[in-house]
Structure 1
Amino acid sequence: MKRLFGSSKPKKPTTNERRNQSTRWQKHPRFWLLLFCVILIVILGNNVNLVSAQSDRSLKEQEDQLIREYTLPSAPTQTPVYKPLPPSPPKNKKPSAPATRKLIGPQPPPQQPQSPPRKPTPRPQTPEKPKPQPESEPKVRESVTSETETPDQPRAKPRAKSPTIKEEETTTTEALPTAEYILQFNRSPVVGNRFRLRGIYSTARLGFTRPQGWKITASKALIRYQHSPALIASRSNLTVQVNGTSIGSIPLNRKQSQIGQALFSIPARLIQDYNDLTIVVQQQNDEKCSDPSDATLWTEVLPDSELQFEYQPQPIPLNFSRYPYPFFDQLSLDANKIVYLLPKVNDDWLIAASRLQAALGRQAEFRPIETSLVKDIEDLDFGDRAVIIGTPATQPTLKDLDLPFPIIKNQILDGNKTALPEDIGVLILTTTLDGAVPVLVVTGNGSEGVAKAAQFLVQPDTKKLGTGQAILVNSLKDVPAPPLREWKGFLPTKDSFKLSDIKTQENGEPLQEIAVRGAGAPPVQIDFRPLPDDEFTRGSSMNLRYSYGPQVNPRTSAVEVLLDGVFIGGARLTSEDGATNKKLNVDLPANLMNRLTSTSKLEVAFRLNPREPGECGKVTDQQLTGTVHPDTSFKLNRQQSVQLPDLKLLQSGYPFAAPQDLSNTAIVVPDAPTKTDLLTMLAFSERLGRLSKADSVKISAYTTASLPPEVRKTNNLVAIGTRDQFPLPEALTKEAGGFGLGSAFSRQSDRASIQTLPDDGGTIKEIISPDNPERVVLALSAQTENGLERVRQIISKDSWFFQLKKDTVLVSSNQENTSTYDPDAYKLDFLNRAPTTRRIENTSLLGKIARILQDNWIFLPGGILAIALLLYGISQLYLKRLSDQKSH
């Protein structure tokens, strides 16, 4: 056994053998390390598998992150600089606009009548010095102007030669072009046709801004005025102040109310971004004592008074940290001009353009925007802001621009000359050749990249990250849609809330204490905007908390509460020593609450009069104060109930702006849309942007063929186009809405059917969606392009848009060339013809019963009579049966 198996006692190694074994350990360290790892794995067992999986995932995430961080090209040697040039008025034409510009520096050379128009051209890849070309009248193209804009404003015309401007700054030796801008008072709705000041001492204020990029060199105020002939010249005067600093005063000494004018010089240092021009008049018609209520104490500042500015436009380095400037300037005195370069229309361009326009509408709020479309970048004019959306394949013009990313074979390359993936968005700021037009490029190598780049700009939180000339959007987190009834700037959805829970529309901050001072103090105005689907019942109330100062006259002083100018409650101010934190419970009438709109105001007016009457009309009233406290509380009895279709609800954006990110709204245009179709789409997107506030924009847009069936069924739809190419023709039939547009210029209704020659009117019509009774379809249509243009103007202009009501609007005009600023330019006829209506409500059973009784009140007397007869018959039958039982 010992021979067969050997000895069981191990043999001791010799010294040489031990040395050789030690050498083997040193020669094979990897083997032993591997053996150690195997033993460790056996010991740890399943736990090692978990740790290994987590390590693999972590390694993969790091690899993915490295893959997504692409190599950028070398930084450009020069930052693109936008060089705005001052425009000059058209030749042989006197500007008729209330705001004009003219050159007062070196004039351009004489115009060559036979020369082609000079237009901004793209910046080439290799720097070349452009040759100056003669100028001519700018080309007229289709455009749309939203909000208020100067009528007949001359389009900016390029100068034939401009001075050289350095990249970042200008030196004192450079002669920048100087221009003059005239701003007339009648552009302000405060002025209108007259600016009247009454009484012994009266003030009036007019606000104006200084556009970014303006260096004011000189400014003046030309005041044209007219005053009462009863004023005493030695005791009556007019003073002009700018931002609280007086710039001059004149006596009111005109005879027989003759028109006078005075020119006041405004120091350039006084002009800020936001400015107040204050006109103060002191008027006396008696040497001893003038009656402040005397009707002869008046002075009028005429609406053709004006502010005159001399300025130098400064070069503007383009940087995404300033976006949306210079494409949109909040301080601009003119309409911001946005021009889209039109490619072959597809869904990618439609969605990106509509979302960008909606985001600009939110940024603009009440400020004007003029939107245009061009097919060639050569058609751009000075003063335009160009936007190019699409891949290099759909926008070949990108190859001709000076971009930091090379484009080869319709592919955008990174710093390693490798094509970017299709899901990477690319944003670039550049200019045309001479820097006269800034260009925003929203692109990528695929539709997903273009959509991601556009979405980056419409989300406020992500937009703040932008800087530099170019941005690669690698990843973008989707912002979830807000709740349907979460509307910023509207009343809280809770039935009980405080004044501090209401947010201001300007900055979204909660309301704090609001104080007023003086005998003629303006009322405290609070935006009181219920949600469009709110319906109020009896029992709503307001618990006002207020304070007032001492020395008020308790016999004539009071606090009043008004709702849209209607008095709903008040109380006397009874304490001569003032009072703190007083309470006043005010009932909010249901009939008034249900008439509130998106512009409604709740006013708290302090009627403060001093204890001692003033002498000779001079009243010392600055010690009189009134304060509204933020713990003022509201209790509202309301329910969610609204009936559709109703175009009046469109004034607040409902139902298209629910939720506020517009994710439930889709716009549909024809398969081959015209410029009018696309501009109408942009106008409606901009309008929804002005009416909504959210952290994202998710409105969609499609052509007729590409509209997904699920979107058609689940979304509110806006169909745009003339009748021949209307995307949803069933919406224009008489059966769908009681009014229809037919072939051969026919109009149909329940009562008549006619044909017109021609039909230049427009139609705005809302119906319940045939695919989903919870959704609506808005039709913006006409028989001709001219009629659709009028519909677009109605959507764009506040003065017309906020007149919409009922379910159908017919737009017509007796003028061939209508002016969008003429209040009589269009005629609107409102119809209620919808055969199908739908009430969307979320109420209790008792509320539904009350709603049924309200809607069918005409049958209520007959129903009561029928029930009474039924009860009478039952009672008689019961009594007869009782009598029969007794007789037996």
Structure 2
Amino acid sequence: MSFSVIGKPTGRLAFVLPLSLLFLAAGPVSADEQGAVEPVVEAAVPGQNATLKQLGAGYTLNLRGIEGSDSVNFDVRADRVVTGARLNLEYSYSPALLPDMSQLNVLVNDQVAASIPLPKETAGSPQKQVVEIPPHLITDFNRLTLQLIGHYTMQCEDPQHSSLWAKVSNGSELQLQLAPLALPNDLALLPAPFFDRRDAQRLELPFVFAETPSTTQLEAAGAVASWFGAQASYRGAHFPVLLSELPAQGNAVVLLTEGQTVAGVQGEAAAKPSVRVLTNPNDGNGKLLLISGHDAGQLKQAAAALVGGSGVMKGEQASVEGVSQLHPRKPYDAPNWLPSDRPVQLGELTEAKRLSVAGYDPGTINLPMRLPPDLFTWREAGVPLHLKYRYTPQPVSSNSSLLVSISGKFIKSLPLPSQELLKDDQTLMSRLKQDETLLRDAHLTVPLASFPLQSSLQLRFMYDYIKQGECRDIIIDNMRGTIEPTSTLDLSGYRHFIALPNLGVFRDSGFPFTRMADLSETAVVMPDGYGTAEVSAVLDVLGHFGDSTGLPATAVSVVQAGDDAVLRGKDLLVFASGGNQPLLQRWAEHLPASLGGQSHFQLSDLAYRVRDWVSGDDRIDERRSNGSVALGSGAVDNYLTGFESPLDSGRSVVILAGGSPQGLGEVTAAMGAAQDEDNAIQGSLAVVNGTRVNSLVADEQYYVGDLGTFRYLQWWLSRHLGGTLVLTAVGVALASVLLYLSLRARARNRLKD
């Protein structure tokens, strides 16, 4: 069967590459095979254990009131089935609770799994309880809820009384016993089982080649790795590389050209590139994603078809009739980045249902955001935020409000007036009678310095509970709050301009390479005689870029040093392990490490001034060196460094170098590791020793971007006092000359009269 597909972006969080694809199914799976899942294979697989903190509970769960609850989500991979589950619960509760009328409920998907009594004897002290959860309650996507049913008196009670509390430690652990579930060989399941969004663990997916891949084959593999990196998102991804062997267990991506064979798996002999799913011969529960073509060029076509059109593939195999790009990418159009050329609606950042909350103490509405890292904020008032929201007004005056924060940093509190305060406004009251909610809007200016590059706009409705008096306090759950999807955040007033090198934005966003989301202006420069470690490092970094942009790197160039023509006009991402990269010799004056075994570093206090915030004052980044040190050692250090390309003004070079292939792996691992102030990749040089990172800085600095002539002149004068004085003196002199000539002409005219 053939398909004609035109894909285009369908949202900011789910991307479909704009390709025109024609697929021809070469080996369809029968309807019976596609419709039925194979029986469970009874074999031991690693269990899935996670604390409530790992599941998203950043703090102790505080359950308050007569019916307080809190929840976390957990998921189970599609190729796993739960055979047993237990919750190792750590909790404490109020001594004032009545044992006969109070309990702690454990619910899975709103079904009660267990009710834990709360006896007086153990109240007020830490408790531990093992709760067995029936496996049949657990599905693919699950919600675990802890609910307190609490009462402190047999008489009339305050439903929000301070004695009604229980605390559940976020160190409580959920343990799942799993068995494998064999899935059919069906492309319709992609990206599963190679990546499963239900799995919160880091993605580890081997790439298999018959022999050391060529640069063109690496371009195909890089597109696939960046696609999986975009899918993995916050989880991170690692892509080990194998030559002429398949993994002993699990899944893998196999790239073969015609005639190549790995452990009995052959590249397709068909005239057209193809994508196929088959079972791993070494593991009946593992799958292989076979990407094949007649040559390396067709392999790139198959990879482009996979990352752009996997959503329409089905069956065991699909052949690619043709691939063509409809429109070239534009700078800063990465699907994961906030648009900087137009106002963005908040409804584009999340599902509409997540913009609504209910109850007196509803959860926070979180809107994830990624900023382009080079927004120029100098002398800018802030980002305009036009917020439209609905809420349920309370009958009488209250202190209810809508809190606006950025990644936990408070920005502003917007009051939510009661009906009593609105009674004189007949227009508002008439609108309120329609659906018992009131639409309001507010215009805020949010300082861009409040935005980390990866941030979250947080909106929380805070309703004040108004006590009615003894025996009259009943909580009616009719409070609602909604953020209108048409609310907007507007970055279009900001220019793009940044001081480089800046390894902080390279690590966080892949900048400047990700300025073009498909990496069409990037060249990856491979070392001579590269092997599996270097190939794995390249795939890991491209996967990291995919996480940043949300787009596969379908236009990246992979080259080797030799001909400067292929390096010109590109931002260069250079890999080296030991002394196998010729560019390290040619550009030795730019490097912190010499090939003769001596390392020389320029030092500043940047390491003590780590900045995670966007700033328009690039002087903060300019930590000029205040010392230098030369070290004699037997090997080149592991480091990342950046500088302006010696071949093109305004183009960037970033080098990832290791003293050995294993050292290069440490460098790429540091890019994906958690960062803190003492262990952050920043500045123009980051030295990696195992898991330890030391950031240093050099004097050389250059700028990329465009401010416009007048804005650039303003900025330049603000940084150069001497230039300001000279320009002022020239202006005064010019004005004086003009005034002198004017007065002289006037005097001559009077004399003539």
Output the TM-score relative to the length of structure 1: 0.68
C-alpha spacing 1:667/1:871, structure 2 compared with 1 (3 Å): closer
**Structure-2 residue corresponding to 1:847:** 711
Give, in whole Å, the separation in 1 of the partners of 2:181 and 2:458.
44
Q: 2:349 aligns with which of 483, 494, 504?
A: 504
Which secondary structure state, in structure 1, belongs to the residue aligned with residue 113 of structure 2? strand
2:150 touches 2:164 (CA, 8 Å); kept in 1? Answer: no
Q: Deviations over 1:244-293 (max 9, x none)?
A: 11212112346486553333333333212110111123567788868968
What does residue 535 of structure 1 align with? 376
Change (3 A) 1:437 1:177: closer
Q: Pick from 193, 199, 204: which aligns with 1:332?
A: 199
Partner of 1:473: 320
**Quick one: distance in 2 between partners of 1:614 and 1:178?**
60
Tell me whether 1:747 sits opposite 2:613 in the alignment: no
The question of 1:829 aligning with 2:697 is answered no
Partners in 1 of 2:738 and 2:68 — Cα distance?
77
Cross-structure match for 1:808: 685
Partner of 1:792: 668
Alpha-carbon deviation of 1:488? 1.9
Q: 1:516 to 1:606 in 2, by over 3 A?
A: same
What is the CA–CA distance in structure 2 between the aligned matches of 1:702 and 1:808, rounded to whole Å? 24
State the one-letter code of the partner of 1:558: S
Q: Identify which of structures 1 and 2 has the higher relative contact order when contacts are C-alpha pairs closer than 8 Å and 6+ apart.
A: 2
Residue 695 of structure 1, CA deviation: 7.4
**Distance apart, 1:538 and its partner CA:** 3.0
* Structure 1 residue aligned with 2:655: 779
In structure 1, distance between residues paired with 2:30 and 2:416: 70
User: CA distance change for structure 1 residues 392 and 513 in 2, over 3 Å: closer, same or farther?
Assistant: closer
Give the 3 Å change call, closer, same or farther, for CA 209–617 of structure 1 in structure 2: farther
Q: Go from structure 1 to structure 2 and tell me whether the alpha carbon gap of 1:224 and 1:521 turns closer, same or farther (over 3 Å shift).
A: closer
Check if 1:453 corresponds to 2:294: no
Is 1:712–2:712 an aligned residue pair?
A: no
Match of 1:771, SS state, is: coil
Structure with greater strand percent:
2
- Determine if the alignment matches structure 1 residue 655 to structure 2 residue 512: yes
Provide closer, same or farther for how the CA distance between residues 227 and 669 of structure 1 changes in structure 2, counting only shifts above 3 A: farther
The answer to whether the 8 Å contact 1:458/1:696 transfers is no
Aligned to 1:736: 590
Q: For residue 219 of structure 1, report the CA deviation from its aligned partner.
A: 3.1
- What secondary structure sits across from 1:752 in the alignment? strand
- Cα–Cα, structure 1 residues 576 and 690, in superposed 2: closer, same or farther, change >3 Å? same
The answer for the alignment partner of 2:522 in structure 1 is: 665
Tell me the equivalent position of 1:689. 546
For these two proteins, the number of residue pairs brought into alignment is 683
- 1:356 maps to a residue whose letter is V
Bigger Cα displacement from structure 2, 354-363 vs 642-651: 642-651
Q: Which residue of 2 aligns with 1:486?
A: 333
**1:554 aligned to 2:371?**
no
In structure 2, what is the Cα distance between the partners aligned to 1:567 and 1:436?
Answer: 49
1:503 and 1:207 map into 2 onto residues whose CA distance is: 23
Shift of the 287–846 alpha-carbon distance from structure 1 to 2, 3 Å rule, reads: farther
Mapped partners of 1:641, 1:321: distance in 2:
43
Q: Which residue is 2:644 aligned to?
A: 768
Greater mean deviation of Cα atoms: 350-359 or 221-230 = 221-230
Pairing partner for 2:128 from 251, 261, 275: 261
CA–CA distance in structure 2, aligned partners of residues 434 and 568 of structure 1: 54
Structural RMSD (CA): 4.2
**Alignment check: 8 A CA contact 2:55 2:72 kept:** no
Residues 614, 245 of structure 1: alpha-carbon distance in 2 compared, 3 angstrom cutoff = farther
Equivalent residue, structure 1, for 2:86? 220
The farther-off stretch of 277-286 and 847-856 is 277-286
Deviation digits for residues 376-402 of structure 1, max 9, x if unmatched? Answer: 426x222x2132213255x4426x23x
Q: Is residue 2:204 matched to residue 1:372?
A: no
Identity among equivalent positions (%) equals 18
CA distance in 2, matches of 1:715, 1:575: 59
Secondary structure of 1:793's aligned partner: helix
The residue number in structure 2 matching 1:9 is: none
C-alpha separation between the residues in 2 aligned to 1:168 and 1:728?
Answer: 53
Would the alpha carbon gap of residues 212 and 189 (structure 1) be closer, same or farther in structure 2, given more than 3 Å must change?
closer
Task: Label 1:710 to 1:619 Cα distance change in 2 as closer, same or farther (>3 A).
Answer: farther
Q: Name the CA distance, whole Å, in 2 between partners of 1:666 and 1:327.
A: 28
Structure 2 Cα separation of the partners of residues 606 and 439 of structure 1 = 48
Q: 2:212 aligns with which of 344, 356, 371?
A: 344
Q: Give the superposition deviation at 1:298.
A: 4.7
Q: CA deviation at 1:795?
A: 1.9
Q: Counterpart of 1:805 in structure 2: which amino acid?
A: Q
Residue 625 of structure 1: which of 466, 480, 490 is its match?
Answer: 480
Deviations 1:711-767 (A, max 9, x none): 41122211111241235216864x426x44442242343743422446685311121
- The residue aligned with 1:243 is 109
List per-residue Cα deviations over 1:619-655 (Å, max 9, x = no partner).
6262222332234345553223233222233222322
Cα drift, residue 597 of structure 1: 3.4
- State whether residues 227 and 298 of structure 1, in contact with CA within 8 Å, keep that contact through their aligned partners in structure 2: yes
**Which SS does the other structure have where 1:787 is aligned?**
helix
The residue aligned with 1:638 is: 494
SS of aligned partner of 1:542: strand
Task: Give the direction of change, closer, same or farther, for the CA distance of 1:798–1:666 in structure 2 (3 Å limit).
Answer: farther
Q: Structure 2 vs 1, CA of residues 803 and 229 (structure 1 numbering), >3 Å: closer, same or farther? A: farther
User: Retained in 2: the 8 A contact 1:568–1:586?
Assistant: no
Answer yes or no: is the 8 Å Cα contact 1:238–1:249 preserved in 2. Answer: yes
Which residue identity is paired with 1:554? S
Counterparts of 2:24 and 2:481 in 1: how far apart (Å)?
A: 62
Q: Does 1:524 align with 2:401?
A: no
Letter in 1 for 2:104: L
| Structure-2 separation of matches of 1:727 and 1:286 | 80
Query: Whole-Å Cα distance in 2 between the matches of residues 71 and 597 of structure 1?
Result: 46
- 2:255 is matched with 389
Counterpart residue number, 2:608: none
Q: Go from structure 1 to structure 2 and tell me whether the alpha carbon gap of 1:236 and 1:782 turns closer, same or farther (over 3 Å shift).
A: same
Q: How does 1:270-281 map to 2 (within 5 A)?
A: 270-281=137-148
Match of 1:432 in 2: 281
1:208 aligns with 2:74: yes
Give 5+ residue unaligned stretches, structure 2: 1-21, 423-427, 432-437, 603-624
- Secondary structure of 1:488's match? coil
Q: Please report the TM-score for the alignment, with normalisation by the length of structure 2.
A: 0.78
What code does the residue aligned with 1:435 have?
A: G
User: Per-residue deviation at 1:793?
Assistant: 1.1
Aligned equivalents of 1:809, 1:854: Cα separation in 2: 30
